[in-house]
Structure 1
């Protein structure tokens, strides 16, 4: 067999072994051979290589009734760390974790759309590197979630803040000698959510904020379209010749169903200049008619948008992540019922498990999979540290 083919087979086997250890700890060499259908000699050689690289640890013997007790293996998740950065229109949030997405620390930074993003990110990354716990590999990757269009790790368009350098990832990677991955925040979100819902190979993740973004997973792979513009759900047309949109069209969905649009229309209806999410929720809970009307419209408009999604992708699952659906428990079931009654479609609609950190977890996942050269990282738990972010 040619050497190149032998190397390819070995790399494939190594990837399978490491991915199984990462996602199914603890496991013995014998179990690896059984589940992966590889020879014991192949498993032994690969495991020794992973031990030498400090990626895998032996953690003792399994309890057996008779015979030699097998030595158990687990992934050495604290051998490195990963940094994810969510660049929001008015705030930057960072998350640093170990190589299993655990032992998390969250920090918030103020951000003005007028600020120069590149030096700000350089400062944030430098601060994290200085405070990073010592580990054999240090920070192995940085994921940056962008509110806009990203194609092949280059930023194409940002509607909410000035376009940073298109080659932002390349500049930061050169500065810190760490792989940097920029991606649309909804694309990161669907990858983050799917790490928790690993049984779904086809799923859609919808983020509702100032706009409406969508991440698309098809057969377990992120779908971005020809040039990164796939998933711009907020710019699908709801009302031809409707409200003007910053994208240049009229009547876009996000002009009617985004968090910003709902709150602005509600404020207009009650004669206020501004209403925040907490005030709106309080009025809704007190059954103020105008607030109930706006939620009914949100349900209707999102159901129409989801009907278009189901007809286009025939997906297994839609995850809706919005302030309204996260705080009002029956919204998802109402949207599903609207689909059944008005659009004659059934679709599983679930709330996001990750909510505000879905983008960050997606960035963490991408960096870990790149460093380990695996394809399907599963994340099971979140640290309580996420509930109390640090402020800078």
Structure 2
């Protein structure tokens, strides 16, 4: 067999073994051989190599009534840490966790319109590296979530902040000597959610904020399209010849159904200015009629959009990540009821389990998979320690 093929097989076997240990702890060598259909000699050699690298740990013997007790293995998830950054229109969130998405700490930073993004991100990364590496916690990867179009780690377009150079990731990587992965925030969000719905291989994650983004998972793989434009759900047309959009079209979905659009419409109906999401949710809980009317509008618009997605993708699960659906318990059920009146296709629609940190956890997953050279990582979070 050619050397190149031998190396490819060896690398693939190593990937399979490490991924299984990461996602199914604790596990014995015999379990690995049984589930992965690899010889005991192959398993022993790979496990020994991973133990020497300190990527996995032996944690004692399994409890058995007969024979020799097998030694159990688990992933050393604190081998290193990952840093995820979510660049929002007016705020930046940064999260550090171990390689399994646990031991999380979130920091929040204001992002003013006049600020330059690269110097601000450089300062944020410097601060977090200094804090963590003083504790001998090595950062092995950085991810940056961008509200815009990203292709092959380059930012092609973003409507919210000026970017003098599309190579933001490579510039940060050159500064810090750490791999930096840049991705669309909605794509990161679907990666984060899918790590918690691990058995669901076809999923759509809808992020509703100032705009509307969408991440698409097909057969377990992120779908981005030819140039990275797949998932621009907010720029599908709801009303032909409607409001003009900065993208160049008219009547785009996010001009009517985004949180920003809904709050602006609520302000017009009530005579209030600069209505915040907290103020709106408070009015809704106090049963202000206009607040309930505007939520009916949100349900209608979102149902129309989701109906189109179900008919286009025939997906298993749609995760709706919006302050409205996350904090008003019956929003999702009302959307499901609306859809049931117009079509009979089966699709689960649920609120986000991760809410504000879905993109951050997707970034942790992306960096961890990149460092470990595995394809699928289950992650879970501990209660978050929010720091401002």
The answer, yes or no, to whether TM exceeds 0.5 is yes
Matched, 1:317 2:317: yes
Measure the CA separation in 1 of the matches of 2:274 and 2:117: 28
SS at match of 1:77: coil
- The residue number in structure 1 matching 2:370 is 370
Q: CA deviation at 1:82?
A: 0.3
Q: CA deviation at 1:137?
A: 7.9
CA contact 1:84–1:364 (8 Å) conserved in 2: yes
CA contact 2:133–2:139 (8 Å) conserved in 1: no
- The residue number in structure 1 matching 2:102 is 102
CA contact 2:196–2:378 (8 Å) conserved in 1: yes
CA contact 2:55–2:79 (8 Å) conserved in 1: yes
SS at match of 2:181: strand
- The residue number in structure 1 matching 2:55 is 55
Cα distance change, pair 135–368 in 1 and its aligned pair in 2 (3 A): farther
Measure the CA separation in 2 of the matches of 1:11 and 1:344: 46
Q: CA deviation at 1:165?
A: 2.0
Measure the CA separation in 1 of the matches of 2:191 and 2:98: 17
Q: CA deviation at 1:250?
A: 1.1
Structure 1 gap segments, 5+ residues each: none
Q: CA deviation at 1:132?
A: 1.1
Cα distance change, pair 313–223 in 1 and its aligned pair in 2 (3 A): same
CA contact 2:14–2:46 (8 Å) conserved in 1: yes
Q: CA deviation at 1:344?
A: 4.5
Measure the CA separation in 1 of the matches of 2:347 and 2:39: 43
Measure the CA separation in 2 of the matches of 1:356 and 1:222: 20
Matched, 1:356 2:356: yes
SS at match of 1:178: coil
**Map 1:287-326 → 2, pairs under 5 A:** 287-326=287-326
> Which range is displaced more, 22-31 or 158-167?
158-167
Deviation string, structure 1 residues 347-392 (Cα, Å, up to 9, x no partner): 210110000000000000000001001011001x3122x2x4111x
Measure the CA separation in 1 of the matches of 2:234 and 2:145: 18
Matched, 1:390 2:387: yes
- The residue number in structure 1 matching 2:169 is 169
Structure 2 gap segments, 5+ residues each: none
TM-score (norm 1): 0.97
Measure the CA separation in 1 of the matches of 2:335 and 2:133: 45
- The residue number in structure 1 matching 2:29 is 29
- The residue number in structure 1 matching 2:75 is 75
Matched, 1:143 2:143: yes
SS at match of 1:342: coil
Measure the CA separation in 2 of the matches of 1:64 and 1:55: 26
Q: CA deviation at 1:62?
A: 1.1
Cα distance change, pair 127–137 in 1 and its aligned pair in 2 (3 A): closer
Matched, 1:126 2:123: no
SS at match of 2:141: strand
- The residue number in structure 1 matching 2:64 is 64
Aligned residue pairs total 388
Measure the CA separation in 1 of the matches of 2:357 and 2:61: 37
> Which range is displaced more, 184-193 or 284-293?
284-293
CA contact 1:336–1:346 (8 Å) conserved in 2: no
- The residue number in structure 2 matching 1:244 is 244
Measure the CA separation in 2 of the matches of 1:152 and 1:242: 33
CA contact 1:114–1:162 (8 Å) conserved in 2: no
TM-score (norm 2): 0.98
Measure the CA separation in 2 of the matches of 1:327 and 1:5: 53
